Structures are given as C-alpha cells and as structure tokens.
Structure 1
Amino acid sequence: MMSSSRRSFMAAGLVVVLAVAALIFGAPGPVPLSAGSSMSDRGAADTAEAPPKSSWAGRQFRDMTLDEKIAQLFVVRIDGEFQNANTPSYRETVALVEEFGAGGLIFGPGTPMTQIAMANDLQAKAERPLLVAQDTEWGVGMRIDAATSFPPAMAIGATRDASHAYRVGYATAREARALGVHQLYAPVADVNNNPKNPIINVRSFGESPSLVGTMASAFTRGAQRGGTLATVKHFPGHGDTDVDSHINLPVLRFDRSRLDSLELPPFRQAFDAGVRSVMTGHLALPEIAADSVPATLSRPLTHGLLREELGFDGLVVTDALNMQAVTRTFGVGETAVRVLEAGADLVLMSTNPHAAHQAVRQAVTSGRIDTTEINDSVRRLLRVKQDLRLHETRRVSLDTTRHRVAQRSHEVLARTVARESLTLLANADSLLPLTPPEQHDALVVTLSDSEYPGTGDTFVDRLRAQPAIETLDTRRLDPRSDSTDVNDHLADAADYDVVVVPSFLRVQAWSGSIGLSDMHHDFLEDLAGTDTPVAFVAFGNPYAPTGLEPAPDAILAAYGSGEASQRAAAQALGGGAGTPGRLPVTIPGVAEKGEGRRLAPVAPREGPPESVGMDGAQLARLDTLLRSAMLDGAFPGAAVAVGRGPALARLDAYGYHTYDETKPVQTGTQYDLASLTKVVATTTAVMKLYEADSLELDAPVARYLPDFAQNGKEAVTVRQLLTHSSGLKPYLDPDERGPTRAALLDTLMAQPLTYTPGTRSTYSGLNAIALMRIVETISGRPFDAFCRTHIFEPLGMDQTGFYDTDVTRAWVAPTTDTAGTRRRGSVHDPMARDMDGVSGNAGLFSTAADLARFGYMLTHEGRIDGRQFLEPKTIETFTAQADVPGSTRALGWDTKSAEGYSSAGDEFSAASFGHTGYTGTSFWVDPAEDLFFVLLTNRVYPDDTADRITQVRPRAADIVHRAIDGPPRPLLPGPAPEQ
C-alpha cells in the first residue's frame, strides 16, 4: 500500500505537470469547466447541497460566520485602468475585499496588464479567493483595450453558423482566464423581436427563439470548455422592450403562453447545454408575477419560475443594482434584501455594500430571509470557486496574459465572423461591388452618434485602398453638426460617382435610444433622392434604414462597429469579401428575417494566413530569409505577395530602394519586371487574341508578319515562339540592333535560324518581340496601348505599365545596367531600351499589389471582379508543359523542373507554372493549392554581379509552400438551417 507521504509527493508532482502543461498547451485553467458538469465531479449536476466537509468548500463553509457568508454574496466593481495603490477608489476596493470580505469582483474598462496586476493584488489580499467577472458579450475587448473584440451576437446570428458561437465563447474564455476573470457575463439569450429596443439590439443573436437558443448554447459550451462560467442573460428575456432598464423599468405586458413560446426557449436550451450561471433582468411582468416588481427582485420569477419550475440550481446573479429600474423604487438596503429573497445568489454592484449588508443581516436576524437560503447561495458560490480551483491557484502569470490575450487565431476568428455576417439588403442596379475597370470618385459621409473624430477611420482607409476607388473624400455628420453641414454635404455629393454612407450607431447604456437622429435620417432621404448612387452601410444598429423614403440604392448590414467589421465591409464594397449573411431580425419596410442577397467575393482581399489554411508563423520565416539576404548584399529591398484562395495571406515590403537606406520599399513600389514582361504582358496579350479567334497557335508567324519569312523562317509557328523552340538565337548584340526601334525590328525579321524549329528549346528574347509585333499587327494598336486597354485596366492593375526611356521616377526601385548607368524608371534591358521602353521581352514595371490581382485571376479560373477575364481552358492550354524535347516550357510560361534546380523550390507541385526576371523578380503559381507567390527585388543594383537571388528564390518559395496546413476556406458557406 502506498504511503501517505508518497501519495502527497505524487499528487504534488501531478499538479506541477498540469501547470507545466497549461503553460505549454495554453489551457485556460487547470481543467476545463465543461458544460453541464463541475470540474471536481464530471457528470454530476451542480447542486446547493452541502459540499463534503473534507473538501475546501466544505471547510470554508463550516468556518464562516453569518456576516462573512453575507459579504461573500456581494460583487463589487473596479475599473481596470491604472490606479495608484493609494488612490481613494483603490483603497476603497481593497477595504471591500480585505475587511468587508466581498466574494466577487467585476472589472470595468481597462488595459490587460493593469487589470491582471490589480486582480492578482486583490486576490492576494482576499481571505478567500475572489470570483472575478466581466462583461464579455463580444469578447474581452468589450472592456479591455488591446484584447480581442469579436463582432456582436447578432453578427454571429447572421452567419447561421453555431461553430462560430462556440469558438467565440472558447476564445473569450481563454483571454478572460488569462486576465484573471472566471465568470463571463455572456451570452445574451434575449430574443430581440422589438426593432425599437434601445439596449439589446445587436447584443442579441436575433429574433428567432430557435436561432438565439442555438447560438447561446454553443457560446455557453465554448466558454465553459474554455474554463469559465458562462452567464446567460437577461432572464426571463429583455428582447421585447423599448425602454432602457438603466433609465427606467421596462414593463412587459404579455401572458405566460407568450413567455413560453418566445422568451424562455433560449434559456431552456442554455440550461440543457449546462450553463452554470444566469443573470436576472430588471423587467416587470405584471401578467405573470403579481408583485409587478423587476424579475431581479421577484420571487415568483426568480425562485418560482427559474429555480423551481425550470430547475436551475446554478449561480443566479442580479443585473447591476445601480440601474434606475431598481434604484428609482427601492433603497440600497431594501434592494439587496429583495434580490436575495427573490432567489439570487450574487448581489451585483450595490451602490453601498455596507448599508446593503447591514439590511440583509437585519432581515436574516428578523426571520424575513431564511438562513437556509443564504447558506444555499454561499454553498453554490464556494462550490464554483472550488470547481475553478481558485483555492489552488488564484493568481495569473503575466507571461500567460502576454501569450493568450489578442492571439492571432482570435483575430482571424473575429475577421471570419465579420465577413460571413455581412448581409446585403438592397443592391439597385447592381451598384455593389465597386470593381475595375470602372473607376469611381467616391465621397464617404460618416454618420456617427459620437463626437469622436476617429469613428470609421478603418473603414475609410480600407475603402480607399480598393482598386476601383480613384479618389476618396470624407465628410461626417455627428452631434456637433448642423443644417449647414447637411446642406454642404448634399451639394458636394453631386460631384462624385458614388456616395458611401456608413452609420455608427452603438448600443449605449443610459442613452435610452438607438437609431438615426432626425438630422441623419433627413440627410439620407435627401441624398437618396439625388441622381448620385448611394451605398448605405449600417455598422451597429441594423434597423437604421427603417423608414427611409426613398431608400439608398445599396444597403449593407455589418452589425458590429469594430475594426473587423469595418475591414470586412470595405472589402465587400470592393469585391474582396462576399455577402453570405442572412438577416437574423426583421427590419420593418426593408427586409424580412432570413433575407440577404448573396454576392460572392470576386477580388483578392488581405487576410491573415490562417484564414486560408496557412501557418502565419511559418510564413513569417520569409522575413528572416529576405532580411538575411539583404544583409548579404543580394538586393537592397524587396516586395512580396502571397495569395491563396480568396485572400492575400502576405503583402509586404522589406528594406530600401538602395543601400543608402533613405527610401523604404513599400508594397506600391514599382519594380522593373524584366522577363516577367513575357508572361504578364506578352503571353497574356496572345491569350486574349487566341480567345477572340484572332490568332492561331499553329499558324506560321509569317501569316501575321510576312517579313518574318526571310532566311528559312516561313514555317516557324506562333506556338514555337511561345515555347522558345523557334530556332531564333537568344539576343541581339548592340551592333546588330540598329539606331531605332524600326531598325531593330527589321533585324529581327531578317534573322536566320540557329537550329531546326521544334527540336529543342533555347530561351530567346527575340521570340517575345516577334509575339509583340503579332499583337500590334492583329490589333492595329501599339503594344503598350493594347496591354493597357485589354489587360491592365480590366484587371485593375493601375500601377502597371511601360515607361518611355530616360525619365527618372522616384517611386521606382532603381537598377544599374552593364555600363554602370543608374536607372529609375527606364528599363534595364538594353534591347527593350532600344525599343523605346516598350517591348515584348522586357520593359514592364509593376508592384506586388498589382501582380497579386494578376495571380488572383490565374488561381480563380480566369475570373476577377465578377468578370471572366480569361477562360479556364485557355489558362490550362497555355500553362501545360509543351511537347518540346528536353524542355520545361509551356506556352509563354515555364513549368517546374521535374528534377534539379527550380526557382519554384522543392515544394511547389508538378502542375506549377511561373517565370523569373533578370532584375531579380519571380512569379509562381501552384494551381493544385490555389497558391501564387510574387517576389520582386532590384538585385541588379548597384550592379548585376550579385547572384544570390538564385538561392533566395527557391528557399522563399519553399517557405511559402510549407506554410500550407489546410485547405483554403470556401468562398461561401454551405446552406444554413432555416431559423
């Protein structure tokens, strides 16, 4: 038999192992708090029965006086902002914890490190561990700066995806525990069926009891799996009110059958999911409870309905007792007595805990409150603290906080929910999305209920970056604005192609209303009556467009007003995000519950790697590789784009234009593409003519260029030019090219063959120049004009084009030619320079951002911006390896070598195609993974002797490909259940 000391040693070892595992694997607590079970007794229902006397909870209960028991039921508020230890407010809180003996804290707004420092300090001062709570309906960021803010509940409801609710609950719990919080005052189970509700609104998952119940239950399971108590609120249902209970008492005049059919089902589902805590609401139901007092103070509703009839025996916490729905009628002491009489366990935010305690003590002494009920409440509370193992570890490591709060995966989740919630309610004349080739001069008029000047900045910045927005100007109407501002903005609107009106209407306690002001409403109606198209985006309150006559041309509901929602809405306006959401409420006169016009994403959007099945940490190794290469003198700077599926997983810039480090590279810095010109411009132009039946691949070049038939070239085909198997030599020496473009072309036409066409492949710039001339001859247009009109403008590549020579352009990364001449905007390639900068073999300048759009088109079967730019069959034809002996060439493109060196590295699949450029550029596509990778450098500055690019290219490609750890997310979610 094992000795007691041996058992103690092994138990201690197990605790250490669990603690280490928690730090390594990120568990939010020693053991997850599973829904429907306690942490100390899995599968056993939580009851108010006396805990075993040998347990920590049992020993604490046995040793507590009546005064200590009463004090344990009080939850006191403290802000998480920095407070000096000697400030009166902090000293008062310390006294409530240390001397008064409060059993719980609720943290208000603050910052992560300050909150955890104060939580740890107060836990150390408390005789018994504190149960710490916080409002976290849309994540810990609801209260804590820099923590993750998720879109609100109604956004999750709009996705119809319960897994989002579960994951948001879990992520919220992870961050909460890392900040010393154990009890989440979430989720909201109120059914918001009243469009005029000023205080619930987007805090609710919707107006369908089934949808609300499904989402609230999923959130509950996630939150409790993450190690916290979920608190479902506001019992018995705060959705059908037009009164803010912070200001006055909502009175709900409906009968029990209505309560059973609408308000109670979500709470029942949450109980079935094992929710451990319920918050009662300040709501009177005179038709059901004859006492006509708020449910928080009503024994028929709290004890009778919640506890006895519905069988809930977890913790019951009141809504805040500083709200006027209760303070208008009852004093501090009477309020505390009544909530405990009603059946609550925790007295939240009493305005005077000492007076309230005294009143409760007197009520117990007089027999008004049965001592048994106080004991039951204390037992429930102690049992929860024990289940959370607060008696073992009540403080949190600062290192844990730093690693868990605002995790990248949580940001990805927030952005995903925001995108998938977007609900398009109107889209007259297909106004949205705003995509190339059309270019819009846009005016944004922000409607805000706040005077804060930064409201909507993220939306404006992201909208400005959309390719179809030529110019963007901003105005705002907020509480400081007047009729002069309104008239000025209406007059300004006539000068723009489109006016975008985002409204920021937040649910604000104590405000008593939520909706467009009369000024905002009238402005929108007057604006919608003009000839300028209007796109209205509702951030926050989705009911905002109610009653607008005429209505805006496009109406988009984004539900949240945080950065994730603003980013998603801007992407949707530019086609980078779809509108898969379905309205979870009815907006009178605008749309019914369940409606939503689905637009698929049609253009690339920037998004975290994890959103498209890539490992961000692995992809970040690009940073190390490129910075190391710059230090080794491989190139002074670089820009990259990594796209997969619907998103740009990486669009970034490194280093400087030159080694003097004066001008940083940006994602919009233009690079000389060199031979990437052959695929981006020349091959793509040929593909367009091929699709138009204006060019045949197996036709002799001489059909289009009769002069080409000289010196035995009459049988050379267009296909052989594309596969570099034409028999032409690689390049023209300077003395062969002649003094003019025309002379160079004449020399090209007169070139003899150097080998029998089709027998092998020898890379040649002459092939691309001949192809360029075919394009010009067939189209009757200069090559640069054809490319601009038929390629770059339709693709929204407005920073891509050819430059004439001998002009300096500061935004271009410089190169240096073989003669030592520094060039910034004039082409590096001598033969292209002799062609006045416009050639089929080189001469194109572009950016990583523009080439990302080109890559998106290639990985989306030739579609972008909702238009078919190239047919999928055309792309397949031109990127398949050609039947040329010993060659990896496709038509214009190269393919990955089966063995030996490849600039695509080892990981890109055999189906990959791409090309490189002499100046240090490369572009590779792996269609098997919906992946493309762009690398732009000016490795030929300050000279072209550095050849380290040959090692950098494959290593970079391998880093990118190895970042793949799952499939890219589908463009639109599957069918949603009808709710």
Structure 2
Amino acid sequence: MQFSLRFSSLITHCLCYFSATLLCIFSSNALAQNSVFKSPESPNAVAQNAIPQSKIENTKLSDSELRTVKDRIGQKIILDFRYFCQDNTPSTRCRTPLTEMPPELLDVLSKHNIGGIILFAENIVDAKQLVSLNYSMQKHMLQKGRPPLFIAVDQEGGRVARLPPSVLPPFAGNMAIGATFQKHGTAFAENVAQHIGNALLPLGINTNFAPSVDVNSEPKNPVINVRSFSENPQHVAALGQAFVGAMQQTGVLSAIKHFPGHGDTHVDSHSGLPRVMHDKAKAMSGDVAPFANIINSNAVPAMVMSAHIQYPSLDSSTLVDKHGNQQIVPATLSEKILKQLLRTQLGYNGLIVTDALDMAGISQFFTPEEAMINAFNAGADIALMPYTIRNQNDIRQFSQLIDNVTKALLSNKESRNTLNASLNRIAKTKQRFELQQFVLKPMSWWLNEVQENLDKRNVSALTRKGEQIKKALSEASVTVLYGHKKLPLNSEKLLALMPDTARCIAFENALFQHFGEVGKALSEIQFACIPLVQLPTASMIKRLVNDTDVIIVGDITPLHANYELGGLDSTHTVKQRAKQSQVHNFAQEIMQHAKSTDKKVVFVPLRMPYIAEQVRPYTDIAIATYSYVINVQDASSQGNFKGQSVTSEVFDALVRVLMGKIQAQGRTPVTLSAQ
C-alpha cells in the first residue's frame, strides 16, 4: 500500500473540512485549487484563509474571524479522554473508563476542531470495541466538516504498551531489541515496528508515540531505562531509524522521543522536572545525536516529541513559573531548543508535539494556559493533553482555556506567524498519511480485517506472526552476563525468589513445561517460588535454601509499579508492599547464605542489568532478560487465582537458557561497570 497523496481515488467522495480549514477534496485538481493550503509539494505553502496581520493589528476581529483562529488552535491540540463521568463526579475522583464516546465529548471534538486524541489502556476493551470507538470519532468529524483526527497511542512495546496482549503483543521492549543488535542488526526493530503498525492501522490508530530514542546513560534513570535501545548513540540511531521507517511504511505516523534526550536523568518528568548537566559538546554527541541522525535519514519521523527537562547547556534562559519563581526553561517551552536547535540546526520540518502537559514536570510549575502559550511560542505544533476533561465542568473550563489562549496568541505578531506555519504542517501531515481513509470504508470492512488479523486458526494471520516475533525476540535478547561455564543447570531441586506472585507462576509454568518436554515427571521435581511483594522471614527461606541445590533470584530494578504486578497478590499484600531497598537487602542476605552453603546462585535482572555487578560476589550466574512482560488471564484482583493462566515468552526463554535448550545470543546494550 502506498501512502503518498492519492486524491484521484476520492473523486466520488467529497470531504469538506469547513470552518478553520475549509478543505474540500473532489479530485487532485480540486485539492490544489480549493485547499486552505497550497500543495504539500510547495515549500512556501501558506494558509489562504489566514487572518491578515494588518487587520488583527488595526481592527477588532469579527466573531467569525475569531472562531477561525480558535479552530486553528484546536487543530494544535491532542486530548485524552481516559475517564469521563457523566454524573459530574469531580475530576480528581472520576475513574469511569471511557470506552464509547458520549455526545458531549463528540461535541467537544467538533466544536473546538480538535486535532487529535490519545488513547490509554482504560479506553480499550477489545478489538471490536476499539474499532467502533475510533470510527465513531472520525465519522463525527467528517459529518461536521472537520479534518480527521490524529488517533494516537503509546505502543512502544515492553512496559509501555496500551493495547491488551490479546490484540497486540507487547513484545519485550527496546532494550531487548538493543541486546539483539550485535548479532541481528536492525532486524528486530524493523519486524516489531512493522507488526505494531500493521496491527494499529485497521483498529483506527494512525499515530504511535514511539520509539523512544533516548540514550540511557544514567544507570538510575527512573523512567527511561529499558525503554531505551542502548547507551550507545549510534546503536540507538540505527535501531530508531529502522523502527521509524518500518512503522511509517505501514501508514502509521511515528513520533521519536523525548527531545533533546531524557536518558541521563535521575528524576521522572511525570513527577518532577529533571535537569541534565551535560555540556553542549556532550549533549550534541550523545543525547541529541540519535535525533539528528534519524531526522536526516531516509526515514524522517512524522513527529518529534519534546521532553519536560531542563538542559542548561542548550538553553539556560529562565521563565517565571506560576509560583513567581525563576525556572530554567524546560525543553518543551524552549524556543532555543525547539526552533533554533531542532528546526534550524537539525533541519526538522515535521511536527513537534509536546510530551503530555499534565505531567508534573510542567503542571507543577505552569498553568495549562501558560504551558500552551509558551509551548506554541517555543515552536511546538501540537500540545498533548494540555487540559484534563473528566466531566461537564471540565468541558466548560476547557472552552474558557481556548478563549484565553486565542487572545494571548493574537496579541503577538510572531505568535500569529508561528500559528499559520504550524497549521500548514499539521494539514500536510494529515494529507500525507491519508487519515481520512479510515471512514471512507464502512466500519464492517475494518471489523472483518481485524477479525482476520486475530484469527489464530489461520497460520498466516497477523496475530500468529506477532507470536512468532515475540518468541524470537525474547530468545534472541536473553544475555548471560557472567557464569557461562556454569550453565546449564542439571538439578531438579530448585528454589526461586521472584518480584511478585504472577512472575512466580510464569516462571513455574515455564519450568514445568520444560521438564515435561524432556520427560521428567512433576513428582520428580522439587520446586518452590516465593514472591517478594511482602517479605517472608529470612529464617524460613534459609531453611528452604538448605534443602535445595539451586536458588534463582529475579529482580526488577527500578521497582515496577503496582499496576504491573499482575493482580495475583492480595490488596492487603500490595498495600504492605516492601520497599525496593528492603527487597534488595533481603535477597542479598539469602543469596549470601546460599553461597556460603555451596548452593548454585543464579541472579536474573528482569529489567535493568546494572545491579548484577553489585551481587556478583555472592552469585554464580547472571542472566538478563530486559523485560518482565507477562500475560495474565482469568485472574481475580483479590489473589484468588483459581484457573488463572500466566504466560510469558520472557520466562520461557529464560528457562530454555538455564536448562541448556538454547544458547543465549544477546549482548548487553549498557555497561555494567557504570554503577
């Protein structure tokens, strides 16, 4: 399928984008003659219905002209509707997932000419519901004469995956892909990205905020870590470029993130405002390099997402925050970083989208109005999640926000110029990727395609290919960090300590499957797995150690979130969850005891592998997986997991390596001695 401008096929269709864009497409000739914008091939394309600057400066705008400007601003906004309470439950307490669009939210989209929507896991039940949700939004926009929406998702793979595994495998993630680079080059980046794109497009998702091309140079980075391909900027660039190219060939827009680079931070921008202290030379050769390489490759990303980080060597200027304090300007709000560096120096001509403006890195310091105005003036084309809409009151306040932002932007000549150029880029991108195509076919057509994609009975179905890629990546990425000569394990007496109950069951299932394949009866196996959500007594575990031959300790560092536990630990247990330092101290005590009693000790970092160096003195083997992805089905949220099913290609691959069924092929993308 080609994704160039194919408007001749639309002769029998008329898409009229009334109001702000007034774009009617009757044929390829009509596009050039009637569009708000000149042909996307024209380097000097200008919005034909742009408000004349002299008129703004000298005459009060009419209501219709003001409406046009508001519509332009609406195109520069991507909203989330993760939750919505029609009973007007206060916004902070509203937790009703939105899985179908109520009339009042459809009205928000068309009334304000909103440019796009981002979906989260809460919005998604299954494939059929997702197609229906997306089709209803795009159909409404078409009926109201509005441009098609960017419908976006964060489907990076690994721990950042919004779609349920039954619809799209999460895969092992970027660092696992990075671990395959030495042997397989960019093959897995291409295969994973292509599969994600092929799965997303029929579901009505046309934009993926992926991949992360941050260089993970900080071992204690709390937010990027395994979302990064590598600590090597050249490897990140090569894998990122392959990912972008494969994704966009399917027709799904790719957004590389988080510019100018979030890899060397100690603070998560979801909860604070990180600062990177590299000098400019190091910034350009490290953090910025992957962005520069990909932007100037043959796989130019449709979008670049900015980071909520302070980077003084790139911009040390300050802004007064909402508390009256001077703040070094975050990259998202920095003209030097977005316009001068990204646009001018790196030559990027695509769309700049902010990271979510409701994140604490921005919202703690700036009001929604301040954040939007500063981001737009800095050069951002799209404000992502600038305002949270959860009830009717929020809808009214959002309208007021649009009014305030419109007035502020109209008062500044440079802001108006930026607005016109930005809207041109948005329209060109929507045309280039043919976002209108989704509603030019009946919804039944897409439902049939999705059903075929998910039909596991068909050996050539997309879902079967996805399972094959998922298994292959998990096996190709497993890395023996040390202790190669002490593999395979030859004992049937094993004890495991795992981060939670779900990982215990995933490991147990993988282990018993292996023993079954080699003809071992379960009665011959002595195995126990202890979850470490709540710590048991050390004396009890030491007694178990004394009666085993091998102890296997799984670790997730940084600590995974409660929502990632898998739902098999009781609510009470989760509330009493041990801190990571406590888990580390406990595991260290047990491993030291095991080593002192001549037991074989295997350490398995399931996330970042840096910690393996710390435990090396009292371990024999360390194996990194870079992923702790599991699939839990039919599990009770209260820990009553009768009939539960927990599967994981990651744990399957781990067991195969431990037992010598396959050789580990991966190479760690980060330097362990960095800790």
Shift of 1:75: 0.6
Aligned to 1:861: none
Instruction: Describe the shift of the 1:47–1:350 C-alpha distance in structure 2 as closer, same or farther (beyond 3 A).
Output: farther
Aligned to 1:287: 313
Q: Equivalent residue of 2:284, what SS?
A: helix
Q: Does 1:459 align with 2:507?
A: yes
Q: Does 1:398 align with 2:394?
A: no
Instruction: State how far apart, in whole Å, the 2-side matches of 1:12 and 1:565 are.
Output: 46
Shift of 1:341: 1.0
Q: Does 1:377 align with 2:422?
A: yes
Q: Does 1:535 align with 2:602?
A: yes
Instruction: Describe the shift of the 1:307–1:459 C-alpha distance in structure 2 as closer, same or farther (beyond 3 A).
Output: same
Aligned to 1:153: 174
Instruction: Describe the shift of the 1:507–1:181 C-alpha distance in structure 2 as closer, same or farther (beyond 3 A).
Output: farther
Deviations 1:565-614 (A, max 9, x none): 22211111122222111111012379xxxxxxxxxxxxxxxxxxxxxxxx
Aligned-residue identity in percent: 28
Instruction: State how far apart, in whole Å, the 1-side matches of 2:557 and 2:292 are.
Output: 31
Deviations 1:198-237 (A, max 9, x none): 1100100010011111100010110011111111100000
Instruction: State how far apart, in whole Å, the 2-side matches of 1:286 and 1:67 are.
Output: 34
Instruction: Describe the shift of the 1:179–1:533 C-alpha distance in structure 2 as closer, same or farther (beyond 3 A).
Output: same
Instruction: Describe the shift of the 1:285–1:323 C-alpha distance in structure 2 as closer, same or farther (beyond 3 A).
Output: same
Instruction: State how far apart, in whole Å, the 2-side matches of 1:514 and 1:381 are.
Output: 44
Aligned to 2:45: 49
Q: Equivalent residue of 1:370, what SS?
A: helix
Instruction: Describe the shift of the 1:442–1:248 C-alpha distance in structure 2 as closer, same or farther (beyond 3 A).
Output: same
Shift of 1:80: 9.6
Q: Does 1:342 align with 2:378?
A: yes
Q: Equivalent residue of 1:545, what SS?
A: helix
Deviations 1:45-100 (A, max 9, x none): 796833799xxxxxxxx99811111011111113499999x979654643431333
Match of 1:176 among 186, 197, 200: 200
Aligned to 1:125: 140
Deviations 1:671-722 (A, max 9, x none): xxxxxxxxxxxxxxxxxxxxxxxxxxxxxxxxxxxxxxxxxxxxxxxxxxxx
State whether residues 189 and 266 of structure 1, in contact with CA within 8 Å, keep that contact through their aligned partners in structure 2: yes
Match of 1:443 among 483, 495, 516: 495
Q: Equivalent residue of 1:540, what SS?
A: coil
Aligned to 1:252: 276
Q: Equivalent residue of 2:275, what SS?
A: coil
State whether residues 463 and 573 of structure 1, in contact with CA within 8 Å, keep that contact through their aligned partners in structure 2: no
Between 327-336 and 540-549, the greater mean CA deviation after superposition: 540-549
Aligned to 2:395: none
Aligned to 1:236: 260
TM-score scaled by length of structure 2? 0.73
Q: Equivalent residue of 2:435, what SS?
A: coil
Shift of 1:262: 0.7
Q: Does 1:211 align with 2:230?
A: no
Amino acid at match of 1:447: P
Instruction: Describe the shift of the 1:524–1:269 C-alpha distance in structure 2 as closer, same or farther (beyond 3 A).
Output: farther
Instruction: State how far apart, in whole Å, the 2-side matches of 1:255 and 1:12 are.
Output: 52
Instruction: State how far apart, in whole Å, the 2-side matches of 1:466 and 1:82 are.
Output: 48
Deviations 1:518-567 (A, max 9, x none): 43444444444442111122222222324226232111001111222222
Shift of 1:386: 1.3
Instruction: Describe the shift of the 1:49–1:551 C-alpha distance in structure 2 as closer, same or farther (beyond 3 A).
Output: farther
State whether residues 244 and 509 of structure 1, in contact with CA within 8 Å, keep that contact through their aligned partners in structure 2: no
Q: Does 1:77 align with 2:80?
A: yes
Amino acid at match of 1:254: H
Deviations 1:597-640 (A, max 9, x none): xxxxxxxxxxxxxxxxxxxxxxxxxxxxxxxxxxxxxxxxxxxx
- How many residue pairs match? The answer is 538
Instruction: Describe the shift of the 1:369–1:567 C-alpha distance in structure 2 as closer, same or farther (beyond 3 A).
Output: farther
Instruction: State how far apart, in whole Å, the 1-side matches of 2:132 and 2:86 are.
Output: 10
Instruction: Describe the shift of the 1:317–1:423 C-alpha distance in structure 2 as closer, same or farther (beyond 3 A).
Output: same
Instruction: Describe the shift of the 1:507–1:550 C-alpha distance in structure 2 as closer, same or farther (beyond 3 A).
Output: closer
Residues 540-551 of structure 1 correspond to what in structure 2 (within 5 A)? 540-548=607-615, 550-551=617-618
Instruction: State how far apart, in whole Å, the 2-side matches of 1:209 and 1:106 are.
Output: 29
Q: Equivalent residue of 1:251, what SS?
A: coil
State whether residues 200 and 507 of structure 1, in contact with CA within 8 Å, keep that contact through their aligned partners in structure 2: no
TM-score scaled by length of structure 1? 0.51
Shift of 1:244: 0.8
RMSD value, Cα:
3.4
Q: Equivalent residue of 1:454, what SS?
A: helix
Instruction: State how far apart, in whole Å, the 2-side matches of 1:181 and 1:539 are.
Output: 30
Match of 2:656 among 571, 588, 592: 571
Instruction: State how far apart, in whole Å, the 2-side matches of 1:182 and 1:585 are.
Output: 33
Instruction: State how far apart, in whole Å, the 2-side matches of 1:122 and 1:412 are.
Output: 33
State whether residues 199 and 508 of structure 1, in contact with CA within 8 Å, keep that contact through their aligned partners in structure 2: no
Amino acid at match of 2:191: R
Residues 478-557 of structure 1 correspond to what in structure 2 (within 5 A)? 478-482=532-536, 484=537, 486-505=538-557, 517-548=584-615, 550-557=617-624
Instruction: State how far apart, in whole Å, the 2-side matches of 1:502 and 1:555 are.
Output: 10
Aligned to 1:560: 627
Instruction: State how far apart, in whole Å, the 2-side matches of 1:368 and 1:479 are.
Output: 57
Amino acid at match of 2:46: A
Aligned to 1:134: 153
Q: Equivalent residue of 1:149, what SS?
A: coil
Shift of 1:456: 4.3
Match of 1:416 among 444, 447, 472: 472
State whether residues 47 and 380 of structure 1, in contact with CA within 8 Å, keep that contact through their aligned partners in structure 2: no
Instruction: State how far apart, in whole Å, the 2-side matches of 1:313 and 1:361 are.
Output: 24
Instruction: Describe the shift of the 1:48–1:433 C-alpha distance in structure 2 as closer, same or farther (beyond 3 A).
Output: farther
Match of 1:313 among 329, 349, 359: 349
State whether residues 139 and 168 of structure 1, in contact with CA within 8 Å, keep that contact through their aligned partners in structure 2: no
Instruction: State how far apart, in whole Å, the 1-side matches of 2:628 and 2:525 are.
Output: 24
Instruction: State how far apart, in whole Å, the 2-side matches of 1:546 and 1:441 are.
Output: 26
Q: Equivalent residue of 2:281, what SS?
A: helix
Shift of 1:150: 1.2
Q: Equivalent residue of 1:391, what SS?
A: helix
Would you tell me which structure has more helix in proportion to its own residues?
Answer: 2
Q: Does 1:66 align with 2:69?
A: yes
Between 407-416 and 136-145, the greater mean CA deviation after superposition: 136-145
Question: Where does the alignment leave 5 or more consecutive residues of structure 2 unmatched?
Answer: 1-5, 14-38, 50-64, 90-95, 318-327, 389-397, 455-461, 564-578, 630-647
Amino acid at match of 1:49: A
Aligned to 1:702: none
Shift of 1:348: 0.6
Instruction: State how far apart, in whole Å, the 2-side matches of 1:510 and 1:310 are.
Output: 40
Aligned to 2:248: 224
State whether residues 546 and 594 of structure 2, in contact with CA within 8 Å, keep that contact through their aligned partners in structure 1: no
Instruction: State how far apart, in whole Å, the 2-side matches of 1:293 and 1:209 are.
Output: 25
Instruction: State how far apart, in whole Å, the 2-side matches of 1:98 and 1:402 are.
Output: 30
Instruction: State how far apart, in whole Å, the 1-side matches of 2:195 and 2:47 are.
Output: 31
Aligned to 2:23: none
Instruction: State how far apart, in whole Å, the 2-side matches of 1:523 and 1:268 are.
Output: 47
Deviations 1:332-378 (A, max 9, x none): 11011111111111111123444542332121122175212112222
Instruction: Describe the shift of the 1:587–1:356 C-alpha distance in structure 2 as closer, same or farther (beyond 3 A).
Output: farther
Task: Work out which structure has the larger RCO, using CA pairs closer than 8 Å and 6 or more positions apart in sequence.
Answer: 2
Aligned to 2:362: 326
Shift of 1:328: 1.2
Q: Equivalent residue of 1:473, what SS?
A: strand
Shift of 1:514: 8.0
Q: Does 1:365 align with 2:361?
A: no
Instruction: State how far apart, in whole Å, the 2-side matches of 1:362 and 1:370 are.
Output: 11
Amino acid at match of 1:569: L
State whether residues 446 and 476 of structure 1, in contact with CA within 8 Å, keep that contact through their aligned partners in structure 2: yes
State whether residues 553 and 587 of structure 2, in contact with CA within 8 Å, keep that contact through their aligned partners in structure 1: no
